[in-house]
Amino acid sequence: MGNILQKVSWFIKEEWKIYLSMFFLLLLISLVSLAPAKALGLAIDTIVSGELTRRSLTILVLILIALPLSRYILSFIYNYLVNKEGQKLAFTLRKKYLSHLFSMDSSFYERYQKGDLIARVTNDLDSITTAATSLLEGIIFNVGVIVFAIVIMSFTISWKLTLISVTIMPIALTVLNIIRNQKRKYIKIHREVYADMTEKVLESVEGQKVIRAYGQEDNDLLKQFDAIDKDINSWRYIVRYENWFNPLFEVVYGISYILAFGFGIFFIINQEMTLGGLITFVSYIGLLYNPIISISTIFSQINNANISVDRFDEIMKEVPIVHNETDSKNIIQFDTIDFRNVTFKYPFDKFPVIKNINVTIKNGQTIGIVGPTGAGKSTLIRQLLREFNVTDGQIFIDNISIEEYVIEDIRNLVGYVPQAHMIFKRGVDENILIGNPKANIEELDKAVKLADFEKDLSFLQFGMHTMVGESGSTLSGGQKQRLSIARALIKNPEILILDDSLSAVDAKTEDTIIEHLKAYRQGKTNIIVAHRFSAVRDADLIMVLEGGTISQMGTHNELIRSDGWYKKQYIQQMTMK
């Protein structure tokens, strides 16, 4: 519990007044919950002694009515406060977690699976929130009931009987605490298996079109069942672990009950206590049962929460490799970008993808990048997004290393249209406005027209306000590409990057978009990665990448006049027309 409290101590300090109020409320509730047994014992003694009168009966009835009513009011106030604090803590932790995820670089997402990250912000975070709020009730209330009951039993009924019948209880609690620590490693294993199961379910949901297209529903379902079985089996051991242990408390309770009755009758015979006192004492033994059972559950919850805190904290301690420095410079425009002997290897690869790249890009130029599949074209241009630091060499913007600029400023310079188009389940207009949420309707219409998406609106049920299916499932490949291009154009970036973003459109549409870019993007930089040479034919500079290096560079006319990959592929494409 100390580990959990340490991790959320900042929240408890902020909300200390509420936590203090909840603490005293729980103490009051635990006292009030013990009062009926005491009132019952007094009533029995009054009746047995023959001292029951109309006045004393009225008082007893009023007390028995007031006690549950007061407990209801106190519990209502407490439940309101604890639920409010729980939601507030959950919101704050999720906000911090998601903000932290957005600050991480690409290498982080290569190490952690989506299912695992989701499990940490759902299952694990729920355990932490429960520990920081609801477990307060479990510990304070249950311990309060036990302590108050033992004090009342000792000082108002019989300290001897209390010592005889209650001593066994702390022994059982100590045993439980030892076993809790032994079980912790199995909880951690289960959380990891659960994350794998979540990842498999996500993969199946995202890939359901491909799975259906290849008739692999049954095979995929078997894999899901296998993941679910592993999750169940990992939890089954923990359940068996608890099943043989939890009844121990019932045994302890039964022994306490027998000791209380046996020695209580002996004390009554020896006139050391009254019948009402024994009834009250036995009632207190009964009241101790639920708190003791609850404490056994609380230990399990604390164990789970400790695992969750460690898993949550593991993510929050991650530091991005690509990050801003305290003296990072701002940038809103540029004159030149220089790649000087740039080599890059992904952290998870053995060999570099691009090697010794030397090229200068001037502001206002249109750059074409072509080459065979796997040559490193996308990797080259993604260096401008600062997803990773280059492995060797440097990129300079106006003779200052790109690493010295504010990352957000660098990315704001770029409008990037990737090969894999991420379309969100929202309106067409909302998808486009992600590029510039502050854009007005005229800018939105202009972006749609430039991307040649305007002709598609008449086929959509509600035009610009048509809801797009998940991952763009209701749009064609070409429509998704053009919607993504519109999203980048509405940003009006200094650098527009089209990463093979015209592959799904026909030649006429491609020509239309290229012509729009020439007219609209004059004076701004465009970088076009393409397999069809028609998209880069008019570029100011064309780079040919082969095997991660620049094998040729020049204008279209210069490249077709010299032997090489470009001329060979250009002739082949012209022949196929």
* Parent domain of 112: 2-181+240-316
Residue with tokens 């099943």: 243
DSSP state of 468: P
Q: Which CATH number goes with the domain that contains 307?
A: 1.20.1560.10
Q: Which band of pLDDT confidence, cut at 50, 70 and 90, is reported for residue 3?
A: low
Lowest mean pLDDT among 86-100, 130-144, 301-315, 385-399: 130-144
Among 288, 316, 344, which residue terminates a domain? 316
Q: Which CATH number goes with the domain that contains 433?
A: 3.40.50.300
Among 284, 316, 348, which residue terminates a domain? 316
- 9 with 78, same domain: the answer is yes
- 401 with 363, same domain: the answer is yes
Asked, for residue 465, whether it belongs to a domain, the answer is yes
Q: Which band of pLDDT confidence, cut at 50, 70 and 90, is reported for residue 225?
A: confident
Lowest mean pLDDT among 218-227, 352-361, 374-383, 545-554: 218-227
Asked, for residue 116, whether it belongs to a domain, the answer is yes
**Averaged pLDDT, 360-374:** 92
**Residue 60 burial (10 A CB sphere; 0-12, 13-18, 19+):** middle
**Residue 56 burial (10 A CB sphere; 0-12, 13-18, 19+):** middle
**Averaged pLDDT, 88-105:** 88
Strands 495-499 vs 549-554: parallel, antiparallel or unpaired: unpaired
Asked, for residue 223, whether it belongs to a domain, the answer is no
**Averaged pLDDT, 474-486:** 85
- 259 with 355, same domain: the answer is no
Q: Which band of pLDDT confidence, cut at 50, 70 and 90, is reported for residue 241?
A: low
Strands 525-529 vs 495-499: parallel, antiparallel or unpaired: parallel
**Averaged pLDDT, 263-278:** 81
**Averaged pLDDT, 183-191:** 69
- 466 with 526, same domain: the answer is yes
Residue 390 in tokens: 């280059």
What digits encode the pLDDT tens for the residues 427-444?
A: 888 889 988 989 899 999
Asked, for residue 67, whether it belongs to a domain, the answer is yes
- 345 with 248, same domain: the answer is no
User: What is the rounded (10 degree) CA torsion for 257, 263, 265, 268?
Assistant: -130
- 285 with 382, same domain: the answer is no
**Averaged pLDDT, 330-348:** 91
- 376 with 525, same domain: the answer is yes
The number of C-alpha atoms within 13 Å of 395 and in the hemisphere containing its C-beta is 21
- 519 with 371, same domain: the answer is yes
Per-residue pLDDT, 490: 92
User: CB under 8 Å to 406, separation ≥6 — which residues?
Assistant: 324, 328, 329, 330, 331
- 310 with 374, same domain: the answer is no
- 429 with 570, same domain: the answer is yes
Ranges of H-type helices in 492-562: 507-520, 556-560
Per-residue pLDDT, 424: 83
Please give the tally of structural domains in the chain: 2
Single out the residue of 521, 357, 569, 513 nearest to residue 556, CA to CA.
569
Residue 405 has pLDDT above 70, yes or no: yes
Residue 310 has pLDDT above 80, yes or no: yes
Instruction: Give me the amino acid identity at 6.
Output: Q
- 252 with 388, same domain: the answer is no
∠ CA 231-232-234, nearest 5°, is 65
Q: What is the 3-state secondary structure (H, E, C) of 252-280?
A: HHHHHHHHHHHHHHHHHHCCCCCHHHHHH
Q: What is the end-to-end Cα distance of the chain in Å, rounded?
A: 72
Residue 494 in tokens: 């200094």
Query: Residue 452, by phi and psi: left (phi above 0), alpha (psi -120 to 50) or beta?
Result: left
Asked, for residue 322, whether it belongs to a domain, the answer is no
Per-residue pLDDT, 57: 78
Asked, for residue 457, whether it belongs to a domain, the answer is yes
Helix (H, G, I), strand (E, B) or coil at 471: helix
- 37 with 126, same domain: the answer is yes
Asked, for residue 221, whether it belongs to a domain, the answer is no
Asked, for residue 427, whether it belongs to a domain, the answer is yes
Strand spans (E) along 306-405: 336-344, 354-362, 366-370, 392-397, 400-401
Lowest mean pLDDT among 173-187, 282-296, 310-324, 525-539: 173-187
